[in-house]
């Protein structure tokens, strides 16, 4: 009987502090590189984790507006990053306490924010969300191929994570997925974080 390799998993709990996104990116690079994932896929995973973690930090207060930082009313919450290598794919999941589903927005060219889920949709081959089972909130996940291939390619349904696509199944427009200028601006913006 051939030995079937179990999926690799790495779980990291982080406080929703300003350095959490950078720590999530570093953890992602360290773990995926250790699993032998190609450098291109690691960079894409870091970008997606950055967007998912940023959303978790910004929306960590159970759907309510957070108190100003450093105020006596602010409290530190946590979110969790889960990395999985399964069936030729890397699945990135972030749990946060906000029960509201992620929204795929159409934003203007000069908008300074609001592109996180758009980037996730454009750079992953599948993504979605589902209500958390053991805690309040939700899990937003994205999946990328372990081999560097194009984003949003069709894939075997057996690899899909549970959940549903966010925002009525709206997908990133095809021309946005091929816009190297947009991707370049995003990467420059992330580098400046």
How do residues 118-159 score in pLDDT, each as one tens digit? 889 989 999 999 999 988 999 999 999 987 544 444 444 334
What tens digit of pLDDT does each residue of 44-68 get?
A: 999 999 999 999 998 765 545 555 5
Neighbour tally for 84: CB within 10 Å = 18
Q: What is the pTM of this model?
A: 0.70
Distances (CA, A) of 94 to 124, 128, 180: 15, 11, 26
Domain annotation covers residue 69: no
Domain residues for 115?
9-63+76-145
Q: How many domains does the chain have?
A: 1
User: Is residue 157 in some structural domain?
Assistant: no
The CATH number for 19's domain is 3.30.565.10
Question: Which residues are paired to 185 by β-bridges?
Answer: none
User: How confident is the model at residue 104, as a pLDDT?
Assistant: 81
Q: Which residues pair with 84 in a beta bridge?
A: 9, 91
Indicate the length of the chain as a whole number: 193
- Whether 168 is covered by a domain: the verdict is no
């Amino acid at each position: 009987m051939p030995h079937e390799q179990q999926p690799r998993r790495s779980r990291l709990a982080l406080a929703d502090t300003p350095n959490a996104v950078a720590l999530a990116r570093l953890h992602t690079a360290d773990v995926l590189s250790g699993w032998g994932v190609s450098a291109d896929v690691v960079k894409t995973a870091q970008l997606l984790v950055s967007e998912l973690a940023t959303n978790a930090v910004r929306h960590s207060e159970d759907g309510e507006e957070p108190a100003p930082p450093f105020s006596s009313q602010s409290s530190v919450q946590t979110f969790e990053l889960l990395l999985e290598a399964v069936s030729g794919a890397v699945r990135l999941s972030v749990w946060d306490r906000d029960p509201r589903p992620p929204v795929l927005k159409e934003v203007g060219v000069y908008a300074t924010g609001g592109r996180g889920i758009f980037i996730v949709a454009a750079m992953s081959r599948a993504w979605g969300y589902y209500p958390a089972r053991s805690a309040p909130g939700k899990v937003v996940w994205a999946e990328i191929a372990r081999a560097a291939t194009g984003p949003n390619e069709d894939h075997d349904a057996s690899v899909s994570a549970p959940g549903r696509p966010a925002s009525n199944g709206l997908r990133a427009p095809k021309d946005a997925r091929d816009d190297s200028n947009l991707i370049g601006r995003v990467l420059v913006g992330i580098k400046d974080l």
